[in-house]
């Protein structure tokens, strides 16, 4: 497995653990109200599980599974994929922090950074997508 896929998949598993923990905290708070501010963590919980776990796991697996080039760099321009990894994680944390800090422009900037990360991944992997035969 390429190192970059390992980074994507390891990060996704960390986000799964954090998102699961936040979800358990939210569920426990629903049963026994501990601290009402816990409900402000719901957007961070969803962000960690959707963008952090699901999207990064899919991107890590896609980078590993897509066909390799016969000559030159087997997986193309890996710098774009590293940029995607950095931008997606930066965007996830900006959106998650917005749930606590409550600055409306943070969620928009975080989403734009995440979109930039996904576009960077698409541009870096596009030539590897080809039909069989």
Global pTM reads 0.88
132 confidence band (pLDDT: 50, 70, 90): low
Sketch the domain layout of the chain as residue ranges.
Answer: 3-125
Find tokens 């939210």 and name the residue. Answer: 26
- Residue-wise pLDDT for 9-25, tens only, equals 999 999 999 999 999 99
Q: Percent of the chain, pLDDT > 70? A: 97
Find tokens 């590897």 and name the residue. Answer: 128
CA 39 – CA 17 distance, rounded (Å): 18
Among 24, 117, 8, 13, CA closest to 64: 8
* Top-confidence residue, 72 or 79: 79
Among 67, 71, 70, 85, CA closest to 3: 85
- Residue-wise pLDDT for 15-60, tens only, equals 999 999 999 999 998 888 888 788 888 999 999 999 999 999 999 9
CA 35 – CA 29 distance, rounded (Å): 7
User: What mean pLDDT comes out for the span 84-109?
Assistant: 91
99 confidence band (pLDDT: 50, 70, 90): confident
User: What mean pLDDT comes out for the span 114-119?
Assistant: 96
């Amino acid at each position: 497995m390429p190192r970059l896929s390992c980074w994507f998949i390891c990060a996704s598993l960390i986000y799964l653990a954090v998102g699961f923990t936040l979800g358990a905290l939210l569920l426990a708070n629903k049963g026994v109200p501990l601290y009402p501010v816990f409900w402000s963590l719901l957007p961070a919980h969803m962000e960690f599980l959707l963008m952090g776990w699901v999207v990064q796991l899919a991107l890590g697996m896609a980078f590993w599974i897509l066909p390799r080039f016969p000559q030159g760099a087997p997986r193309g321009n890996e710098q774009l994929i590293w940029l995607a990894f950095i931008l997606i994680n930066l965007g996830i944390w900006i959106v998650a922090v917005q749930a606590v800090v409550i600055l409306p422009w943070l969620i928009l900037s975080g989403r734009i950074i995440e979109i930039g990360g996904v576009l960077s991944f698409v541009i870096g992997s596009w030539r590897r997508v080809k039909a069989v035969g």
